[in-house]
Amino acid sequence: MSESIDLGLRILDHQLLDKDGRRCGNVDDLAIEGGPGESAEVVAILVGPDVWRGRAGWIGRAAAWVAGGRRVRVPWSEVAEVSAHVQLKKTAPEYGLGRLDDRLRPYLEKIPGANR
């Protein structure tokens, strides 16, 4: 079973969801292996502000600097499903995704009503 898709339109910049449907980043870029004369294949999804550096000139670099440059590489073999979103096979922390949310949570939880 195979399907023809356009990467820029259907995958790039789309929402990443982990196994439990948690939003854990966007597809900031795709890593492709194989050059001219060889077969080429998408091998990984690149996630994180560090990836923005290469995507919008100085304004992208500025945004990456502001957001703090991290980069996470998720192998394409970890993709469970491509629909309107891209769903992964495991939970976000197993890929190092959504770390900032996880780090912030304990602080917010100190305030009453944070888990209403």
Partner 1 sequence: MRTLSSLLRRQVVTEGGRKLGRCYDIRAELTQTSLKVTGLCVGRQGWAEHFGLPRLGHIRGHDPVPWEAVVSIEGDRIVVRDIQ
Partner 2 sequence: MNKIFGVALGILAAIGGFVDIGDLVFNVAAGATFGYQLLWVVVIGVVGIITYSEMCGRVSAVSQKAVFDAVRERVGFKAGLITLIAAEIVNAMTLTAEVGGVAICLQLLSGLPYRVLIVLAAIVLGIVVWVVNFDWIERIFGYGGLCLLVFAVAAVKLHPDWGAVGHGFVPHVDTGNKLLYAYFAVGLLGAAMTPYEVYFYSSGAVEEGWTVKDLGLNRLNAIVGYGLGGFLSFALMIVGGALFLGKGIEPETLGSIAMGAQVPLGEIGLILALVGILFAVAGASIDTLFSGAYDLAQFCGYEWGRHKSPAGAPRFTLTWIVLLILAMLAVMTGVDAVKLTEFAVIFSVVALPLTYLPILLVANDKAYMKEYANGRLANTLGIFYFVIILIVALTAIPLMILTNLGQA
Scanning residues 81 to 100, which ones bind partner 2 (CB under 8 A)? 84-85, 98, 100
- 2, 1, 68, 77: which is closest to 33 by C-alpha? 77
Q: Given the complex with partner 2, which of 33 and 101 has the nearer CB atom? A: 101
- 73, 16, 34: which is closest to 50 by C-alpha? 73
CA angle 84, 79, 9 (to 5 degrees): 40
Helix (H) or strand (E) segment spanning residue 87? strand 86-88
Scanning residues 49 to 88, which ones bind partner 2 (CB under 8 A)? 49, 52, 55-57, 59-60, 63, 67, 84-85
CA distance 70 to 34: 25
Contact pattern for partner 1 over residues 6 through 45, marking x by CB under 8 A:
xxxx--x----------------xxxxxxxxx-xxxxx--
> Contacting partner 1 (CB under 8 A), which of 57, 77, 103, 112?
77
68 binds partner 1 (CB under 8 A): no
